Amino acid sequence: MSDHRLTRIVQELPATVPFVGPETIARFSGVPIQARLGANESVFGPSPLAIAAMQEAAAEAWMYGDPEAYALRTALAKVHGVERENIVVGVGIDGLFGTAVRLFVEPGTPVVSSLGAYPTFAFHVAASGGVLHTVPYRDDYEDVEALAAMANTVDARLVYLANPDNPMGTCWDAATVLKLRDALPADAILVLDEAYCEFAPASAIPVIDIADARMLRFRTFSKAHGLAGARVGYVIGPAELIAAFDRVRDHFGVGRVAQEAALASLRDAEHVEAVVRSVAAARTEITKIAEANGLSVIDSSANFVAVDCGHDGDYARRVLAELGALGVFVRMPGVPPLDRCIRISAGTAEQLVVLAQALPRAL
Amino acid sequence: MSDHRLTRIVQELPATVPFVGPETIARFSGVPIQARLGANESVFGPSPLAIAAMQEAAAEAWMYGDPEAYALRTALAKVHGVERENIVVGVGIDGLFGTAVRLFVEPGTPVVSSLGAYPTFAFHVAASGGVLHTVPYRDDYEDVEALAAMANTVDARLVYLANPDNPMGTCWDAATVLKLRDALPADAILVLDEAYCEFAPASAIPVIDIADARMLRFRTFSKAHGLAGARVGYVIGPAELIAAFDRVRDHFGVGRVAQEAALASLRDAEHVEAVVRSVAAARTEITKIAEANGLSVIDSSANFVAVDCGHDGDYARRVLAELGALGVFVRMPGVPPLDRCIRISAGTAEQLVVLAQALPRAL
C-alpha cells in the first residue's frame, strides 16, 4: 500500500486480515461447507425468543437503535448485579476491542499478550501504533506468570488474557486471573476476554467487582447466546472507564434488531443452559472421534476442542486442508507449537457424523 | 475524565456525544413520542423484501456475517457499474467515517468541514487528534468556495461535504461538487457524504468514477432504504483506497441479518422509488404546515425540511422544546445562523397531522 496520504501507521500495517471467512474459503475451493465448525459459532442457534424478537423488530428496522442501549444495559446490569453505568454495549467484542484500544493505546504504547492468542486484539493494537510484546503459551495454557513478567518488563498499559482461552480452550481459575491482575504494573489494565465464559466452570470466572479499575471484562452474545450474526458485545467495568468509551465509540453502531435480539436472549436463560449442555456433549463426542483416530485433545472449557494432530504445523495444516476439501470447515492456531492442533467447534450430532467420516480420510 | 491511563487525545476529548437518542429524550421528559421526526429515518419503513429477508435470516443469526460481504458488494457493484473492489461495506456511514478517519488522520492532520455540518464526522476527527477547520454556511448552503479556500490555506487532507446537506437539506449540482474536488490541494480527499442522494435530483450526483482517487463516496441503507436499525453503509472509491479500509476495519462488524436485509432491499428498487415519492409529498406537506403558521422553509433535497422559525436560536430551541412536550420529536442545527431553524423529517400523513396540530401550539 503505497498511498502516501494514509497515516504513517496505516502505511506500515500488513495487508493481512484477522480471519478469512468460511464463505471466502468455500468460494475459492468450490467445495460447499457441510459442517461449519471453524468459527466457534453456536450451531445450536439463538433462543427462539431471540428469533421471534428479531422477526418482530424487522419491520421497525427503519429506526436507529437506542444509542445508549438503555433497555439492554438495564437488563445486563440486573443479570450481573451492577449498575447500568458499569456496562457499555458495542458491535461485538471485536468492535469493543477496537474502541478500548483507541482509549488506551497511542503510538509506542506497550501492550502484552500471548503469542498465538486471538488475533483481532493484536490487529487493533497495531492499527493504533501500539507495540505488542508477546510471550509463548506454556503447556497449551496462556502463561500468566510470563505475561505478568513481560508486562512489568515493558511497563505494559494493556494486558490481554482470554479465559477460557481461544484457540486452545484451556482455562485458569478465578484466583489465578486475579493473581495476574495483581502482578501487573499499577497503571496496567487487564483486558479479560470472557467470550467463552458460559462454557467454563463457575470457579473460572472472577466475581465482578465494579470498584476494580484494573480489569475490563469483555462479554458477547456471539457464543452461548448464538447471536454472532447480530453483533452485540459488552464490557463490564468501573463507571469512569466505561464512560470513557462514549468519547470515541460509534454510538449508533448496535442496531435496533440486534438490541432486541440480545434483550430477548437474556430472558431465556434456559436456552443458554441447554446450549452449554449441548456443547459439553459435543466436546465429549469430538474427543471420542479424535481418540478413535489415534489423536489426543486439549481439555477445553470453551465451545470448541483443540485436537492435537500429533505432528508439526505443516502436518496439521494438511489435515485442515483435507478436511476442507471434504466440506468440513475448521480452523487452527497460527503459531508453533500450538499449530500442531486443529480447532473444532462444537457441532450438532449430524455435523459430528460428517466430521467422524471425514477425519480418518483427512489424516 | 481524569484517568491518566487514557491516551492524551482521549483525555482532552469533550464528554459530549454527537446525538442524544429519542429514547433518552422521552425517558427524561416522560412524554411518549407520537411523531418520531427528528432522526431523518424513513418512517415509510424497509422494503417488504428486506423485512422478509431479516425474518428468514433471524434463525441463522448464530453465524457471523461474511466478513467480505461478498454477495452484498457484488450486488452493489452491479448497481453502481463498478467492481467489487471499489466497495467496502461497514457499520453505517458513521462507522465508516470512523474507519476512514483512522486511515487518513493522525494527530495534527488538518481537516476541513462546514461549521454546523453533520457532527459525527467531526467527532471521529477529534478522536484521532485531527485539527478541524470550519467555514460558515452561506445562505444555508455549504460554502464550497470557502471550503476550498480553507482547504488550501491549511493544506487539508480530508474535506467533508454532505450533498444533499444535513442539517439544511440544500444541495449542489454535480458540477459544483467536482469543482470543489478539483480546487482542493492535490493530496486532499473529498469525503462526500451522500446519505440522502436518493432524494436529490439526479443532476446533483456526480457520475461515479473509480479512477478518481481524490473522492470517496459514502452511501447508506439507513435513509431511502429504511434500514437505519440494521446498520449498513458503504463507500465507493478507487480500489487501492478501498483496500486500505481492510487494514483497520472491524471485519465482522456488519452482521448476517443486516447483510441479508441490504441485499433484499437492493432487489426492490420500486420500494425506494415509492419512498422517494412519499418523501417528496411529505416535504410539500411540511412546507404547507410551516407556511400556514407564518414560517418559511429551506428548499430541501433530502428526507427532511429545515423550517425557519423566523427568530434566533433561543427561539427555535424553545419551539423545539415545546414540540417535544407535545410528543413531536424533531432536531435542529447546532450553530447560528442555522439554528434559527428546526429540522423536521418526512413523516407519514398521520405523523404530519400530529405536527400540524402541535406546531401552532408550540409557536
Across the interface, of B8, B17, B248, the residue whose CB is closest to A106 is B8
Residue A318, CB half-sphere, CA atoms under 13 Å: how many? 10
- Asked if residue B205 is part of any domain, the answer here is yes
ipTM: 0.96
DSSP-derived secondary structure for A228-247: TTT--EEEE--HHHHHHHTT
Task: Pick the range with the lowest mean pLDDT from A269-278, B6-15, B109-118.
Answer: B6-15
CATH of the domain at A278: 3.90.1150.10
Question: Does the pLDDT at position B2 exceed 90?
Answer: no
Q: Do B250 and A187 touch (CB under 8 A)?
A: no
Across the interface, of B7, B23, B157, the residue whose CB is closest to A104 is B7
User: How is residue B145 written as a grid cell?
Assistant: 468556495
User: Radius of gyration (Cα) for chain A, nearest Å?
Assistant: 20
- In tens, the pLDDT along B48-75 reads 999 999 999 999 999 999 999 999 999 9
- Asked if residue B331 is part of any domain, the answer here is yes
Distance from CA of A238 to the nearest CA of B (A): 12
Dist CA A180 CA A260 (whole Å)? 36
Q: Do A94 and B226 touch (CB under 8 A)?
A: no
Q: Are strands B233-236 and A131-135 parallel, antiparallel or unpaired?
A: unpaired
Compute CA distances A222 → A93, B67, B252, whole Å. 9, 15, 11
* Chain A CA closest to residue B258: A230
Nearest CA-CA partner of B309 in B21, B301, B321: B321
Question: Does the pLDDT at position B1 exceed 60?
Answer: no
- Asked if residue A12 is part of any domain, the answer here is yes
Q: Running DSSP on this structure, what letter comes out for residue A141? A: B
Q: Count of CB atoms within 10 A of residue B92's CB?
A: 29
Q: Do A54 and B55 touch (CB under 8 A)?
A: yes
Dist CA B315 CA B326 (whole Å)? 17
Distance from CA of B263 to the nearest CA of A (A): 14
- 3-class DSSP assignment, residue A162: strand
DSSP-derived secondary structure for A48-63: HHHHHHHHHHGGGTTS
Sequence-distant (6+) residues with CB within 8 A of B61 are: A46, A50, A51, A54, A226, A227, A228, A229, A230, A261, B255, B256, B257
Residues B138 and B261 in one domain: yes
Q: Tell me which of B10, B159, B212, B257 to substitute to probe the interface with A (most A C-beta atoms closer than 10 Å).
A: B257
A26 neighbourhood in chain B, CB within 8 Å: none
- Asked if residue B1 is part of any domain, the answer here is no
- Asked if residue B3 is part of any domain, the answer here is no
Across the interface, of B58, B253, B256, the residue whose CB is closest to A91 is B253
Across the interface, of B23, B187, B230, the residue whose CB is closest to A255 is B230
B19 neighbourhood in chain A, CB within 8 Å: 67, 251-252
User: How is residue B1 written as a grid cell?
Assistant: 475524565
Across the interface, of A7, A44, A231, the residue whose CB is closest to B105 is A7
* Alpha-helix runs per DSSP H in chain A: 8-12, 22-29, 48-57, 70-80, 92-104, 119-127, 144-154, 174-183, 239-245, 256-266, 269-292, 313-325, 349-362
Q: Do A67 and B102 touch (CB under 8 A)?
A: no
- In tens, the pLDDT along A1-45 reads 479 999 999 999 987 777 889 999 999 889 999 999 999 999 999
- What is the structure's pLDDT at A306? 98
Where does the pLDDT of residue B15 fall: very low under 50, low under 70, confident under 90, or very high at 90 and above?
Answer: confident
- Asked if residue A2 is part of any domain, the answer here is no
Q: Running DSSP on this structure, what letter comes out for residue A138? A: B
- In tens, the pLDDT along A150-191 reads 999 999 999 999 999 999 999 999 999 999 999 999 999 999
Q: Do A250 and B94 touch (CB under 8 A)?
A: yes
B21 neighbourhood in chain A, CB within 8 Å: 64, 66-68
Q: Do A55 and B55 touch (CB under 8 A)?
A: yes
**Stretch A315-332: mean pLDDT, rounded?**
96
- What is the structure's pLDDT at B228? 98
**Stretch B129-138: mean pLDDT, rounded?**
98
- 3-class DSSP assignment, residue A215: strand
- What is the structure's pLDDT at B16? 74
Where does the pLDDT of residue A322 fall: very low under 50, low under 70, confident under 90, or very high at 90 and above?
Answer: very high
Dist CA A323 CA A320 (whole Å)? 5
Contact status, residue B132 vs residue B121, Cβ threshold 8 Å: no
- In tens, the pLDDT along A342-361 reads 999 999 999 999 999 999 99
Question: Which amino acid makes up residue A258?
Answer: A
Compute CA distances B165 → B99, B213, B300, B309, whole Å. 21, 23, 9, 19
Residues A298 and A337 in one domain: yes
Of B244, B267, B290, which residue constitutes the final position of a domain? B267
Residues A181 and A325 in one domain: no
- Asked if residue B103 is part of any domain, the answer here is yes
Q: A6-35 as b/e, with b when 16 or more CB fall inside 10 Å?
A: bbebbeebeeebbbebbbeebeeeeeebbb
* Chain A CA closest to residue B26: A66
Distance from CA of A55 to the nearest CA of B (A): 4
Across the interface, of A1, A15, A54, the residue whose CB is closest to B54 is A54
Sequence-distant (6+) residues with CB within 8 A of A202 are: none
Q: Do B27 and A70 touch (CB under 8 A)?
A: yes
Residue span of the structural domain in which B325 resides: 8-45+270-362
Q: Tell me which of A27, A252, A331 to substitute to probe the interface with B (most B C-beta atoms closer than 10 Å).
A: A252
Dist CA A168 CA A306 (whole Å)? 6
Q: Do B27 and A62 touch (CB under 8 A)?
A: no
- In tens, the pLDDT along B222-256 reads 999 999 999 999 999 999 999 999 999 999 999 99
Q: Tell me which of B85, B247, B303 to substitute to probe the interface with A (most A C-beta atoms closer than 10 Å).
A: B247
Dist CA A297 CA A277 (whole Å)? 19
Residues B228 and B101 in one domain: yes
Q: B152-163 as b/e, with b when 16 or more CB fall inside 10 Å?
A: eebebbbbbbbb
Q: Running DSSP on this structure, what letter comes out for residue A203? A: G
Residue A90 pairs with which residues in a beta bridge?
Answer: A233
- In tens, the pLDDT along A239-266 reads 999 999 999 999 999 999 999 999 999 9
Q: Please, what sign has the CA dihedral across residues B205, B208, B209, B212?
A: positive
Contact status, residue A357 vs residue A323, Cβ threshold 8 Å: no
Residues B126 and B263 in one domain: yes
Q: Do A55 and B54 touch (CB under 8 A)?
A: yes
* Chain A CA closest to residue B225: A62
Q: Do A95 and B91 touch (CB under 8 A)?
A: yes
- What is the structure's pLDDT at B167? 97
Q: What is the 3-state secondary structure (H, E, C) of chain B?
A: CCCCCCCHHHHHCCCCCCCCCHHHHHHHHCCCCCEECCCCCCCCCCCHHHHHHHHHHHHHCCCCCCCCCHHHHHHHHHHHCCCHHHEEEECHHHHHHHHHHHHHCCCCCEEEEECCCCHHHHHHHHHCCCEEEEECCECCECCHHHHHHHHHHHCCCEEEEECCCCCCCCCCCHHHHHHHHHHCCCCCEEEEECCCHHHCCHHHCCCCCCCCCCEEEEEECCCCCCCCCCCCEEEECCHHHHHHHCCCCCCCCCCHHHHHHHHHHHCCHHHHHHHHHHHHHHHHHHHHHHHHCCCEECCCCCCEEEEECCCCHHHHHHHHHHHHHCCEECECCCCCCHHHEEEEECCCHHHHHHHHHHHHHHC
Q: Please, what sign has the CA dihedral across residues A126, A130, A135, A141?
A: negative
Distance from CA of B269 to the nearest CA of A (A): 16
Dist CA B211 CA A212 (whole Å)? 52
Dist CA B89 CA A304 (whole Å)? 30
- What is the structure's pLDDT at B270? 98
* Chain B CA closest to residue A98: B250
Q: Do B10 and A248 touch (CB under 8 A)?
A: yes
Nearest CA-CA partner of A189 in B4, B121, B318, B60: B4
CATH of the domain at A158: 3.40.640.10
Q: Count of CB atoms within 10 A of residue B351's CB?
A: 19
A18 neighbourhood in chain B, CB within 8 Å: 251
Distance from CA of B310 to the nearest CA of A (A): 30
Distance from CA of A107 to the nearest CA of B (A): 10
Residues B355 and B251 in one domain: no
Tally the domains of chain A.
Answer: 2
Contact status, residue B222 vs residue B93, Cβ threshold 8 Å: yes
Phi, psi of B115 (to 5 degrees): -75, 110
- What is the structure's pLDDT at A219? 98
pTM given for the model: 0.97
Distance from CA of A267 to the nearest CA of B (A): 17
Where does the pLDDT of residue A310 fall: very low under 50, low under 70, confident under 90, or very high at 90 and above?
Answer: very high
Q: A340-350 as b/e, with b when 16 or more CB fall inside 10 Å?
A: bbbbbbbbeee
Distance from CA of A311 to the nearest CA of B (A): 31
**Stretch B23-41: mean pLDDT, rounded?**
93
Residues B246 and B279 in one domain: no
- Element of type H or E holding A207: none
Across the interface, of B227, B247, B252, the residue whose CB is closest to A10 is B247
Of A267, A300, A335, which residue constitutes the final position of a domain? A267
To the nearest whole number, what is the mean pLDDT of chain A? 96
Contact status, residue B197 vs residue B222, Cβ threshold 8 Å: no
Torsion from C-alpha of B310, B314, B317, B318, nearest 10 degrees: -90
Q: Running DSSP on this structure, what letter comes out for residue A222? A: S
Residues A220 and A310 in one domain: no
Nearest CA-CA partner of A226 in A194, A274, A191: A274
B247 neighbourhood in chain A, CB within 8 Å: 1, 10, 13-15, 127
- Asked if residue B2 is part of any domain, the answer here is no
Distance from CA of A310 to the nearest CA of B (A): 30
Residues B37 and B56 in one domain: no
Residues B247 and B281 in one domain: no
Q: Do B61 and A46 touch (CB under 8 A)?
A: yes
- What is the structure's pLDDT at B19? 83
Of A267, A288, A308, which residue constitutes the final position of a domain? A267
- In tens, the pLDDT along B304-360 reads 999 999 999 999 999 999 999 999 999 999 999 999 999 999 999 999 999 999 999
Q: When comparing pLDDT for A57 and B26, which is higher?
A: A57
* Chain A CA closest to residue B227: A62
Contact status, residue B154 vs residue B110, Cβ threshold 8 Å: yes
Residues A341 and A321 in one domain: yes
Residues A227 and A283 in one domain: no
- In tens, the pLDDT along A59-107 reads 999 999 999 999 999 999 999 999 999 999 999 999 999 999 999 999 9
* Chain A CA closest to residue B60: A45
Give me the count of residues in chain B. Answer: 363
Dist CA B13 CA A363 (whole Å)? 56
Residue A216 pairs with which residues in a beta bridge?
Answer: A191
Across the interface, of B41, B102, B227, the residue whose CB is closest to A127 is B102
Q: Do A23 and B187 touch (CB under 8 A)?
A: no
B257 neighbourhood in chain A, CB within 8 Å: 54, 229-230, 257-258
Q: Running DSSP on this structure, what letter comes out for residue A81? A: T
User: How is residue B356 written as a grid cell?
Assistant: 400540524
